[in-house]
Amino acid sequence: MISRKQLIEQIKQKKSFLCVGLDTDIEKIPAFLKEYPDPVFEFNKRIIDATQDLCISYKPNAAFYEARGIKGLQSLIDTWKYLPQDCLNIIDAKRGDIGNTSDMYAKAFFNEDASGMSFDAITVSPYMGQDTVNSYLSYPGKWVILLALTSSAGSKDFQYLETNQGFLYETVIQKANTWAGADRMMFVVGATKSTEFTNIRKFAPDNFLLVPGVGAQGGNLEEVCRYGMTKDCGLIVNASRSIIYASNGKDFAEAAGAEALKIQLQMENELEKAGII
């Protein structure tokens, strides 16, 4: 379990607010790993070893594991067990359903006795409302990371619809901030939407934002920091493909470490500029 205070301490200590996304596709990992009993776990293990001093969070994306059935679930459980406990470990599941179903999703990802996994945080869709988010909040100390303004091109389809209280994504943030404090609630905001961060901070001055979309999706880290950083940093920036697939050869873990280091150094510079470290 990682509290807000511990998260901020980690950021200052590691001079990083990087989240490494474990979107591990068995079709994309180096061929030599196929000799191992669980190639996906072996890949993740080496990526974690190479990056753990450079990041403060990991985010396995559930889809990549679920797509492989029972074997994938085992890789996810083994990966969770291997994740450094001082990192904020996020399951990117993007769940959302009525209460009794959400109770089961929460059990699947938060209750180690039931499922073999207990992540610190889960990504959740806000579409079905408060009663569908409460299941996750009922686990003391666990974080909900609610989709607000996503990096996808399709974010314009619903998230920018006008409501009485502004854009739908603004309403989502305002309302969800009445459900839990900034010590339990984060929002997803895509790095591709960097110019929106000033506006988002009006509604979410203290919340940490999970920011995917740098690297493969072309988001700009410097702009994200310029408009979105708070006195506590307030940002967890995710990169998946650009780090984990930096090389497809024997040196893949080394290459991932080098890519993570590049981002960490940029982050260190931003934290210094903001006077946080």
Footprint of ligand OMP (CB under 6 A) = 21, 23, 61, 92, 123, 150-152, 188, 190, 212-213, 215-217, 238-242
Instruction: Pull the structure tokens for residue 252.
Output: 């893949």
For the CB of residue 238, give the shortest distance to ligand OMP in the complex, in Å: 5
| 117 or 276: CB nearest ligand OMP | 117
Structure tokens belonging to residue 237: 């920036």
Scanning 111-216, the segments in alpha helix (DSSP H) are 112-115, 134-137, 155-158, 168-176, 197-203
Amino acid sitting at position 81: K
Task: Decide whether 246 or 276 has the Cβ nearer to ligand OMP.
Answer: 246
> How many CB atoms lie under 10 A from the CB of residue 261?
16
CB of 37 vs ligand OMP, minimal distance in Å: 25
Alpha-carbon radius of gyration of the chain? 18
Q: In the annotation, is 14 catalytic?
A: no
At position 185, the amino acid (one-letter code) is M
For the four alpha carbons of 7, 11, 16 and 17, in that order, the dihedral sign comes to positive
Measured from the CB atom, is 174 or 242 closer to ligand OMP? Answer: 242
Residue 245's nearest CA partner among 68, 32, 30 is 30
Helix (H) or strand (E) holding 45: helix 39-51
Reading the block at residue 210, the tokens are: 């999970």
Nearer to ligand OMP, 108 or 122 (CB): 122
**Which member of 45, 94, 107, 175 is catalytic?**
94
90 or 276, CB closer to ligand OMP?
90
Residues in CB range of 194: below 8 A, 6 or more apart: 219, 220, 223, 224, 226, 227, 228
Residues in Cβ contact with 182 at an 8 Å cutoff, skipping those fewer than 6 apart: 4, 204, 206, 207, 208
Give the integer Cα–Cα distance in Å for 20 and 56.
8
- What positions carry a catalytic annotation? 94
